Structure 1
Amino acid sequence: MRNLILLLFFTFTLSLHAQRTDFVEIDFKKADAIAMRYQGEELKSLPVLALRLTAQLHTDVERFRAIYYWITHNVRGDYHMTSQNEYKRKKFKDHPKKLQQWNHEFTKEVFTKLREEKTTLCTGYAYLVKELANLVGLECEIVHGYGTMNVMKLNNLDIPNHSWNVVKLNGTWYLCDATWSSGTIDMSNYRFTFSFDDTFFLTEPSEFAKNHKPLDEKWSLLIPSVVTNK
């Protein structure tokens, strides 16, 4: 029994290191090309967009790649919404009812701007990744937590400020952050520039954990489940 437990633990530990190199044999050029073919497509019908992006692809990882690549090349980050969200969360930190009420109204604004202008903040990116992935039969979840490019400050953040995704491919969960993959905001004029960063696509968990900390620790994909002997 002890050997069985060790084997199960070892097998699970291996699965924790889910990363892009698991798909080294996959050439994403076709998925990326399809995503670029639909550059500028509207968000009025997500089922239609999901079908167009994935119908010609034959593996789940390619389907997800096409969705991810399209989002990160078509949806702009919105500095003012991000700043407003951060300000209100700090202001209502000790007033949960006011925060809930404000968040309810703000969510409507987020989805309206996402749908009509294709501009958003992290919540909108994560929502769109999840919705399009789910529409093509992929398990995908939104993860809320803390995120910062300054790794020294990650553990000092006291208010959740970021959202990203986990997606299940071939039975294994993988991490990705479409917000940070999409581009950058010039703080001198608050303008967003598309600049695809591939490092946040199916990132190895220990690397992802350097600047992401989920509220639910299981989504760090670093913590093994407890194996009990019954």
Structure 2
Amino acid sequence: MKRIILLVFFTFTLCLHSQRNDFNEINFQKADRIADRYKGEELTNLPVLALRLTAQLETDVERFRAIYIWVTHNVRGDYHLTSTNSHMHRKLKNNPEEFHQWNKQFKKEIFQQLKDEKKTLCTGYAYLIKELANLAGLECEIIHGYGQVKNIKFDNMELPNHSWNAIKLNNKWYLCDATWSSGIIDMSNYSFEFSYEDSFFLMEPSIFAKSHRPIDAQWSLFNENAEN
């Protein structure tokens, strides 16, 4: 009886957490064209931007696709913000109260720069994805955790260093990382280069978990099947 219950639970979990191949029948060309049509739009009025990106699309996944493509093709990563954030995390890791006060002010700077210059770090990408998705009537969450860099294993990472999103489509949760989809930072001059990587859009959880580990383990989805 116990084995039957476990099997039912595992099957239920599989049904809840799926991946992009659930949408193989969807052609994203229209969503991508709409995102391109509004390239260069400002972030001064997010409700209007969300409406422009999604009003002509029929399915939730297409609406989210248009939002995701727009964000990853219009918002630049900022090395100096990322570097400052990492430095202060390390410096104040043993002083939570001081870090909280610093982070509160830093977030204001992040969002102001995002709005004014369309430049940000992972927190800003995740925030913008969530805000636009919510405005389009989609359920979306910001996930904080660890993004694996170089050859450093998760167990050797002292502090959380990354943020991404979970999006609910057709009553299932999917994972995506707009930061890593958008492009790369050229470390020779610390400039950002747009270079879209589509694999982080609704990536299969077991693959996503190889490079992402959330603080809240429930957002790993298939994390238990992934290898470090």
TM-score, with normalisation over the residues of structure 1? 0.93
Q: Residue in 2 aligned with 1:166?
A: 166
Alpha-carbon distance in structure 2 between the residues aligned to 1:151 and 1:200 = 19
Give the ranges of 4+ consecutive aligned residues of structure 1 lying more than 6 Å apart after TM superposition: none
Give the SS at the match of 1:70: helix
**Is the Cα–Cα contact under 8 Å of residues 78 and 192 in structure 2 kept in the other structure?**
yes
One-letter identity of the residue aligned with 2:221: L
**How far 1:4 sits from its partner (Å)?**
6.6
Structure 2 unaligned regions, length at least 5: none
Q: Residue in 2 aligned with 1:179?
A: 179
Deviations 1:95-143 (A, max 9, x none): 0011000000100000000000000000000000000000011100000
Alpha-carbon distance in structure 2 between the residues aligned to 1:213 and 1:14 = 19
**Is the Cα–Cα contact under 8 Å of residues 150 and 211 in structure 1 kept in the other structure?**
no
Give the SS at the match of 1:97: helix
How many residues in Structure 1 have an aligned counterpart in Structure 2?
224
Q: Residue in 2 aligned with 1:200?
A: 200
**Is the Cα–Cα contact under 8 Å of residues 154 and 213 in structure 1 kept in the other structure?**
yes
Confirm whether residue 81 of structure 1 aligns to residue 50 of structure 2: no
**Is the Cα–Cα contact under 8 Å of residues 16 and 222 in structure 1 kept in the other structure?**
no
Q: Residue in 2 aligned with 1:190?
A: 190
Deviations 1:167-214 (A, max 9, x none): 000000000000000000000000000000001000111111111010
Q: Residue in 1 aligned with 2:100?
A: 100
Alpha-carbon distance in structure 2 between the residues aligned to 1:154 and 1:2 = 33
Q: Residue in 1 aligned with 2:149?
A: 149
**Is the Cα–Cα contact under 8 Å of residues 205 and 223 in structure 2 kept in the other structure?**
no
TM-score, with normalisation over the residues of structure 2? 0.94
Deviations 1:138-167 (A, max 9, x none): 100000001023354222111011000000
**Is the Cα–Cα contact under 8 Å of residues 175 and 208 in structure 2 kept in the other structure?**
yes
Deviations 1:68-114 (A, max 9, x none): 00000000000000000000000000000110000001000000000
Q: Residue in 1 aligned with 2:33?
A: 33
Q: Residue in 2 aligned with 1:22?
A: 22
Q: Residue in 1 aligned with 2:112?
A: 112
Q: 1:39 to 1:175 in 2, by over 3 A?
A: same
**How far 1:5 sits from its partner (Å)?**
2.7
One-letter identity of the residue aligned with 1:89: H
Q: Residue in 1 aligned with 2:221?
A: 221
Q: 1:149 to 1:28 in 2, by over 3 A?
A: farther
Tell me the percent identity.
67
Q: Residue in 1 aligned with 2:126?
A: 126
One-letter identity of the residue aligned with 2:171: G
**Is the Cα–Cα contact under 8 Å of residues 151 and 210 in structure 1 kept in the other structure?**
no
Deviations 1:31-84 (A, max 9, x none): 000000000000000000000000000000000000000000000000000000
Larger RCO (CA within 8 A; separation ≥ 6): 1
Alpha-carbon distance in structure 2 between the residues aligned to 1:81 and 1:2 = 51
One-letter identity of the residue aligned with 2:52: R
**Is the Cα–Cα contact under 8 Å of residues 151 and 211 in structure 1 kept in the other structure?**
no
